[in-house]
Amino acid sequence: MTHFLDIHTTPPQDLRYIIDDARRMKDARAGLPKGTPDADQPLANHMVALIFEKPSTRTRVSFDVGVRQLGGQTMVLSGADMQLGHGETIADTARVLSRYVDMIMIRTFEEATLHEMAEYATVPVINGLTNRTHPCQIMADIMTFEEHSGPIKGRKVVWSGDGNNVFASFAHAAKQFDFDLVFSGPPPLDPEGALEGLYTIERDPQKAVHDADLVVTDTWVSMHDPASARERRHNQLRGYQVTDALMAQAKPDALFMHCLPAHRDDEVTSAVMDGPHSVIFDEAENRLHAQKAIMRYCLT
């Protein structure tokens, strides 16, 4: 049994296998209707629980479709549907679910919830997102970059904005895939201390993106941030908005990514999102293929 909990806890050779397998499966499906099953069905007769404590569009749809393409069935559960940590321990929930399903994907708040689920489950557990990391997203991002620009090893990736959970997984990936990562954001929103040494800091976004191969950002305000934080974050991050002028400082063939959903004309202008550097919708599609490869990996 193999879990997929974080990029930095997965061996680099396994991460490379997942990316290569995702590209193989994507190529094999070219031109097929979305509901067509894959030629091989590794999840045939398998039930997968998809647990969402946080709202979701891409994670929910991509995992649901991915399980079905791999031949399995899904059970989608929200935090309101179950007693996850409320009246029943996470450990007991994990033990019970393991009697009903063959795999668990969980999108939750606390990292401790994910790890307790994995510790006590007797089936594979996949991290669909926590407040600390978002590894499935970054696996899709690496896949997307390499589709468009070749191997990411040795390339320059620049993050403009808040040092959040998506950045944390980028930092883990920088070490595992051997690329250079630059953080450009205000000091109050620096990444957590545990990530120190995995990236460099350049406060001036114009200098940061010089010669960048990839520029990445995310929303300034999380879905669960209080209203009181919104104006403060906008004031802190306004200088880090990704614009055409900022992208002009990167390499001519640089890519732009955003995990979505985006607040257009806040963290990034619509001109960039819809412009020639943007691969955001390829990136969103590749969540499906990367996660299918992760699920296959967890069956090994």
Cα distances from 111 to residues 95, 108, 128, in angstroms, run 18, 8, 11
Q: Is 137 a catalytic residue?
A: yes
- Residues 289 and 13 sit within 8 Å (Cβ to Cβ): no
The active-site residue out of 46, 134, 155, 289 is 134
**Amino acid type, 165:** N
Cα distances from 243 to residues 164, 204, 250, 256, 272, in angstroms, run 20, 14, 11, 10, 6
**Amino acid type, 127:** N
Helix H or strand E encompassing 27: helix 12-28
Q: Is 132 a catalytic residue?
A: no
Cα–Cα nearest to 240, from 219, 226, 223, 222: 219
The active-site residue out of 287, 289, 291, 298 is 287
The active-site residue out of 137, 176, 236, 291 is 137
Residues 7, 8, 14, 17, CA torsion sign: positive
- Sheet of strand 214-217: strand arrangement: 200-201, 180-184, 156-160, 214-217, 255-258
The active-site residue out of 8, 46, 107, 258 is 107
Residues 167, 185, 236, 263, CA torsion sign: negative
Q: Is 265 a catalytic residue?
A: no
The active-site residue out of 162, 172, 259, 289 is 259
SS3 content of the chain, % helix, strand, coil (to 5): 45, 15, 40
Q: Is 107 a catalytic residue?
A: yes
The active-site residue out of 38, 218, 289, 296 is 218
Q: Is 134 a catalytic residue?
A: yes
**Which positions are catalytic?**
107, 134, 137, 218, 259, 287
